[in-house]
Amino acid sequence: KGTRLIWPKGVTEVESVEAVEKMKTVHDLVVPEHREFADMIASFLKFDPASRLKAKDALEHPFFSATFDSDPLGSSTEGQE
């Protein structure tokens, strides 16, 4: 309720803040080659709803103008027939 963070369930607000601060960030979880994706996801996940990236604004995010390898998983088709 309101803007208080009480997570995980059953802990104090101070414990909630400590738990969240110990968590890895989106940028820590995503490989550097996908930095634009991590930036966009982090923008969607902001705590304050007014600062979150809106869907229509997301279409203008640099992630959607990035170029990608034709084989993002790095698998090779050489020698396969």
Q: What is the pLDDT of residues 35-74, one digit of tens each?
A: 999 999 999 998 889 999 999 999 999 998 876 665 656 6
Q: What is the pTM of this model?
A: 0.61
| Per-residue pLDDT at 40 | 95
Q: What is the sign of the dihedral through the CA atoms of 61, 65, 68 and 70? A: positive
18: which residues sit within 8 A by CB, 6+ positions away? Answer: none
The gap from C-alpha 67 to its chain's centroid, in whole angstroms, comes to 19
Q: How far apart are CA 46 and CA 28, in angstroms?
A: 16
